[in-house]
Chains A and B, each alone.
Chain A
Amino acid sequence: MLAHLPILQVIVPLMAAPACLILSRPKLVWLFTLLVSTITFFISIFLLQQVMSTGTVSYELGGWSPPWGIEYRIDKLNAFIALIISGVSTVVLLAAQTSIEKEIPENKQTLFYILYLLSLTGMLGIVTTGDAFNVFVFLEISSLSAYSLIALGKDRRALWASFQYLIMGTIGATFILIGIGLMYQMTGTLNMVDLAARLPEVAETRTVTTAYVFFIIGVCLKLALFPLHFWLPNAYTYAPSIVTTFFAATSTKVAAYLLIRFTFSIFGVSFSFTTLPMETLFLALGLLGIFVASTVAIYQQNVKHVFAYSSVAQIGYMIVGFSMSTHAGLSAMLLHMFNHALMKGALFLALGAVMYRIGSTRIDDFRGLGRQMPLTMAAIVIGGLSLIGVPLTVGFVSKWYLVTAAIDKGWWPVAGLVLLGSLLAVVYVWRIVETAYFKTPITGKDPVKEAPMAFLLPVWMLVLANVYFGIDTRMTVEVATGAAQSLFGVAP
């Protein structure tokens, strides 16, 4: 059975989803979903171990050898991302039942869990597959479930946000489809390894350049890279808390993964960064993203909005790491992907707890929460510190690697700008802290109780992970640098 792990990781949640429909009782379904997610989590741990020790694992679906059949191919990079996804999903699900019971009508709860599982399936499928078209199919599974999950939010604006996301997401997916089509046209293959082997022959053609550009634009739409980000804040803000947490922690990682996979493994560094001016372009977009989004975040009235814009800014950091096209830069990016998942997971889940208690995440409603919900607010503070990049948190680790990578590359101003960006984060995090701890609560309001255990446990798990991986960086750094190394070495 061990040989089947790569596929099991995807089909376990996939097959669990329709099975949920048969179970149908929400509470039962929740337990089942949690169980499934835990199983995937363990599978991804096994896989990561396996990949770290023995190298890339390949799995031939249907027993057809690669260029003809579909191949699953696990290397360090995607094992790492899959671990992030399944891990976050499992932790988030711990709190799901409590939160969902309050935010979603009962007759839709089962459907919620099914969609959640499908979304998980989609993301894991994108990450593990070694076939370009299969990426598109799973991308659509994850996107379609994402649209519906976001639309389940209570606020009517959730619908509009979801619609906008649907339009942008579909345009993005279609662009990706065009990109894949052009690549296919020039090489006649869809398998990633095969593509990587055959693309250099035709790399000079204008068609391949176009293919790359389309693919990148499509991915950047999904990634919510700075000028294409406008669907993200509202989608995150009005979605149910659990959904926000899950997506904030994972979905942009998946898009970032695609960006890395296609740029480094398929087109190759030399093509992407020497034939095309991707370096400057991505650097500019990344930095602009950091500053504009952070600045906008400062002026937001809704804490979810604040952190959503902060996510856009964090994507900027990742892209800055990406644009360096060096081993160190890429490691920093991968580290930040992991770390960002931890901090955004903690923050949004804590916000979910706030939502659970006071039914709103507007900043004015945070007054006095510091005393009323001490544990939740403490989690937000630590998460915020991590976002800023204070030492002893994961945020520091990734900023450190990013800055050193920039210096290695000789980009001093970039290093400075990255640090400057952190200052903006200080401002928006401080606003929340100030409101929660130093402003008097609105009089006449019922005192708010601390969040229930179901929230505190996963929130603090994530917060402690924030601190733990901020101190003990061996595992994450090893994996991230290993993955980066394999990308700069031969194609996977």
Chain B
Amino acid sequence: MIIAATLAVLVVMILAIIRAVVGPSLYDRILAVNMFGTKTVLLIALLGFVMGRPEFLDIAMVYALINFVSVIGVLRLSDAFNAKHNGPVAEPAKRDS
């Protein structure tokens, strides 16, 4: 079962890479990379079990953490880019309920 789950996660990682390559917008790419990162966390956890030494989950935790830091970093930096030509925020449609 673990092997099956590992394979599934691997497949999803490949799908994420495809999305990261295809884009089209910057945010799609970031989203895909973020997803890739979270799937890596799962993969590492699974791999530990596959290898028979499940104690090394610390690595997975660090992954989760670093992934978050990079996503925030990317966003902060892309903010810095676009802030110059940043108009008013796109108004959402308000619905009367």
Q: Do chains A and B touch in the complex (CB under 8 A)?
A: no
| A residues apposed to B, CB below 8 Å | none
| B residues apposed to A, CB below 8 Å | none
